[in-house]
Structure 1
């Protein structure tokens, strides 16, 4: 019998344990890899955001410094001695001196104009002379257009940090209780150019300048609703969040943005830069792709490892387990096929040799048992007491002498049947009823020999016992033991009781009892110990011989059992538990 597969014989506990241990070691590595990757991506993203924030902060600070510089120049201009002289004494000065002072003030305005690219016009109104002096319009008597615009903006309350007239932005400062008004117009195009320069840090970024009250002053995007939504999100943040340097993530119109806010104190505005998150995380997408690829590879490796482990270890081991289980069922006709040259090939080859040797040993042992039974039978046949034959012939002689021919004929017939049965060299097994009948013949011969001083009583054997085969000479030695040891003192009225009980399917009990009084309790205990001992260490005579033969042939529970009889003598039970009753 060749063994190829063992899919349903083993639950694969060893295989499961190995796979579980492998996964248990692999999961922390995968978890650590996931943590390191996400940590690295987080650090990289934060580094990118910090760089963006630093860039935006740098440009905002530059813009703030430039505006502070312009305002400081404006304040210094108001303190100019020529402007102060013109403001306080303009109405009292001669025309020549007045014109000279106006030229000096105009030169200072020109210097202020060229001090910054953000300044497109610088001017001053001097009420003492009733004129506006401008780097763009020159010297103009009031009222004029510039004075009208400046006057209208001056009425704005409370005083703002800067003034607006349509799209125009002005810095306005006064001196001498409004007698002197300095105004500087800031180039909105230059401011927008500065915002565009900041927005070039990222392709998908926008920059706006504004606050909650004024809204968006200017922005690099044409979408005013988007700018308003960004300002609204900034205004909703708590003060602690607004004071922090880190950018915040917000979603506007379904798009997530990183929003970075920087204050421009000179204008009392916020410079806000917002960048599409996808642009920030786009460089990290490749790492994410590689991460999931490696994760998938790890899963594939785990599956391939489990499959290879099943192929190389689990299946051969299951095959070996199945083979051992088949041996437990006494199936030794098994050969494990091996197509590899690994350690399992050696195990399979050794197993096949072990099974072959075990099968051979069992066959040899069985043959030895058969031979032992033959020898025991021959030994029993040779142990027949010669005195029994002599006494029987002497009894026949005496019957002939006294003319009792019928009794002599009956004893001769019984004696012939008896010796014919015990000397038969044919089959070692006979039907149980024949063995039972032979024991009864022996009892009749003995009763004739003892001149009817001893008698026997028996029960007829059941018809079911006709189908049971037993070894020869298993009942007669028990009966012989009774006549030899129970009635040695020639006591009168000795009785032998023989009965047969068929109490289970394929199970029979033959009982032989006597009413003798020669067997002591101690003798019964010694005999019980001998019957319970290993048969290989006992001599093969009498009851022990029969007991050994029964145990060799039949299953557990068979054998000879002795006890005290209810009639006062020895009770011997011969129990046969046939193998056919295994179910």
Structure 2
């Protein structure tokens, strides 16, 4: 299938495709915009949903912490704990046992008040004793108190009780009496150990996508709790949250490359917890459907384009086949084959076109046949008329030459001249054919040159180049070269006393044969040359064709309008006549 015509113009097939695409394009663009708007809306809703979930769970953790601190503060004001701490020496054994039991009961209440509490303890510093839900009363302060105390001393006082990490354990502590930085030793301290497994379980419920998770990350104290144990995720996400904290970003949602996969990370900071709650979900898990729908949209676009091309092709075939058949019929007419074309079997409008085409071809065939026959008869008549103009002209010159030779009693020249003259008239009278081989025409021109050589007593030399072998048998009009040579003698060299030259060159150039006749005469003027060119160009019906014009007309009739005579000033100073015979490749 060719998309381009002979003149490099688009055929009807791409135009059909372009027309369909032009109609579909607005709908396609509208669909694309709606798809993008829907995709953006879904992305925004999913992002907001993740932010809302993070905010919800973070608020739940904040409420849990505030609840725990409130219980610690209420327990610190318990009379049993205060009496046991400050009045222990004045209490009876029964009162001390009763106070211990009440303190342990309060600690159990604190532990059972939240699923995130693993244990609760009271460190009586005035007595160097620790009471805990996990063990009975001890005779020394438990070791976790020392870790909590050192951490609280290092932390700036903000009015909040921070979560302290120690040996992969998390604690919240309250000293009594309260003081900022724990600059002085409290009388007793209440501590709560948080359960990381329960926090991890809560984070696991938060992450409900495959390969997703959540984390509670404290960038200042460098502790964290993750729902999953993937080291690559833990390290990458922790570094990311620490950068956000350093840059002052307290909440947001961003894409983070973790390992070989991209995750959508949602994070929010809580001053109460001093930590970030962050969720991470694989990008393809969250937006995989959107990407899939986008792929479907592009697939639909490709299928639609293919359908348009197929539909255009089917329409193109229904139009192109009979149209191409009609074009071939026209080209046959161009080549001279005036034959009717079979009607198409489609039964559509093309039948009407073909029927009228066949009618036109029939009429054209009749008209061309009539015109062609008339033209052939006219050309034949004109050729014979032009040819007959040459014979009397040369005959007059021949009698004058014989008369002059007889006057000087040059019998040898008369004999040679008579022989050449006999050959000359034998050539022009031996056959009625209008055309002869180029080789015969060249030999006849040589004979004519010999006759003229006798006439001008060898004052003028006429040289002929070798005739190319592939040109010897070419049919040419009879007596088309001799008038050109005669013109050179008569108008170029007749008055030249000595050194006259005529050069005849024959050259094959592609599809043309070029024959040049050049003389070294001095009589040619620019005005004469210009006038002669104008006469050669004026080939109207009223022009009288004699001499060069005669030959020019005959060559054009025989070989076409690209053939004929051109005249220039030659390299020897005289006129150069070039005869062009436009022929096909052998």
Question: Aligned partners of 1:505 and 1:59: how far apart in 2?
Answer: 117
The Cα shift of 1:195 comes to 1.9
- Flag structure 1 segments of 5+ consecutive residues without an equivalent: 374-426, 441-459, 470-500, 508-555, 564-571
| Distance in 2, Cα, partners of 1:559 & 1:130 | 143
The corresponding residue for 1:151 is: 146
SS in 2 for 1:155: helix
Q: Is the 8 A contact 1:192 1:219 kept in 2?
A: yes
Question: SS of 2:347's equivalent?
Answer: coil
Matches of residues 406-425 of structure 1 in structure 2 within 5 Å? none
TM superposition shift of 1:178: 0.5
Q: Does 2:27 align with 1:19?
A: no
- Please name the residue that 2:288 is paired with: 282
Matched, 1:161 2:162: yes
Q: Aligned residue for 1:209?
A: 216
CA distance in 1, matches of 2:129, 2:389: 159
Q: Which of 558, 577, 583 is the aligned partner of 1:580?
A: 558
Cα deviation, residue 167, structure 1: 3.7
Q: How does 1:49-448 map to 2 (within 5 A)?
A: 49-93=47-91, 101-128=99-126, 131-138=129-136, 140=137, 142-144=139-141, 147-156=142-151, 157-159=153-155, 161-176=162-177, 177-199=185-207, 201-237=208-244, 242-246=249-253, 248-284=254-290, 286-328=292-334, 331-335=337-341, 337-363=343-369, 431-432=384-385
Q: 1:236 to 1:163 in 2, by over 3 A?
A: closer
Instruction: Assess, with a 3 A threshold, how the Cα gap between structure 1 residues 464 and 34 changes in structure 2: closer, same or farther.
Output: farther
Distance 1:434 1:189 in 2: 124
Task: Report how far residue 39 of structure 1 moved.
Answer: 4.6
Per the TM alignment, residue 209 of structure 1 is displaced from its structure 2 partner at its CA by 2.5
**Is the contact made by 2:120 and 2:193 (CA closer than 8 Å) also made in structure 1?**
yes
The whole-number CA distance in structure 2 between the counterparts of 1:188 and 1:575 is 115
Deviation at 1:276, TM superposition (A): 2.0
Instruction: Provide Cα deviations, 1:294-345, integer angstroms capped at 9, x if missing partner.
Output: 1331232243234324422334334434444554555433526523222222
Instruction: State whether residues 111 and 118 of structure 2, in contact with CA within 8 Å, keep that contact through their aligned partners in structure 1.
Output: yes
Shift of 1:194: 1.3
Question: 2:255·2:262 contact (CA, 8 Å) conserved in 1?
Answer: yes
What is the TM-score normalised by the length of structure 2?
A: 0.59
2:212–2:280: 8 Å Cα contact kept in structure 1?
yes
Structure 1 residues 150 and 434: alpha-carbon distance in aligned structure 2, compared to 1, 3 A threshold: closer
Shift of 1:58: 2.0
Contact 1:210 1:218 in 2 (8 A): yes
SS at match of 1:245: strand
Q: CA deviation at 1:76?
A: 2.7
SS of structure 2 residue aligned to 1:117: coil
Q: Distance in 2 between matches of 1:506 and 1:343?
A: 60
Unaligned runs of 5+ in 2: 156-160, 178-184, 394-423, 435-477, 485-537, 561-581
Q: Within 2, Cα distance between the matches of 1:97 and 1:433?
A: 159
Counterpart residue number, 1:408:
none
Q: Size of the alignment, in residue pairs?
A: 424
The structure that has the greater radius of gyration is 1
Go from structure 1 to structure 2 and tell me whether the alpha carbon gap of 1:72 and 1:265 turns closer, same or farther (over 3 Å shift).
Answer: farther
Distance across 2 between alignment mates of 1:438 and 1:170: 138
CA contact (8 A) 2:214 2:277 kept: yes
User: For residues 430 and 281 of structure 1, what CA distance do their matches in structure 2 show?
Assistant: 91
The alpha-carbon distance between structure 1 residues 430 and 303, as it changes in their structure 2 partners (threshold 3 A), is closer
Aligned-residue CA RMSD (Å): 4.8
1 CA distance for matches of 2:245 and 2:147?
37
The offset of 1:227, in angstroms, is: 0.7
Asked if the contact 1:124/1:180 (under 8 Å) is kept, the reply is yes
Aligned equivalent of 2:421: none
Distance 2:176 2:217 in 1: 28
Tell me, yes or no, if structure 1 residue 557 matches structure 2 residue 539: yes
Q: 1:439 & 1:332 partners in 2: Cα distance?
A: 44
Structure with more contact order per residue of length (Cα contacts < 8 Å, sep ≥ 6)? 1
- State the SS of the aligned residue for 2:154: coil
Relative to structure 2, which stretch is displaced further, 358-367 or 293-302?
358-367
**TM superposition score normalised by structure 1:** 0.59
Measure the CA separation in 1 of the matches of 2:250 and 2:23: 46
CA 1:24 to 1:239, structure 2 compared with 1: closer, same or farther past 3 Å?
farther
Task: Specify whether residues 228 and 347 from structure 1 end up closer, same or farther in structure 2 by C-alpha distance, changes over 3 A only.
Answer: same
Q: How many Å separate the matches in 1 of 2:365 and 2:320?
A: 27
Is 2:148–2:171's contact at 8 Å kept on the other side of the alignment?
A: no
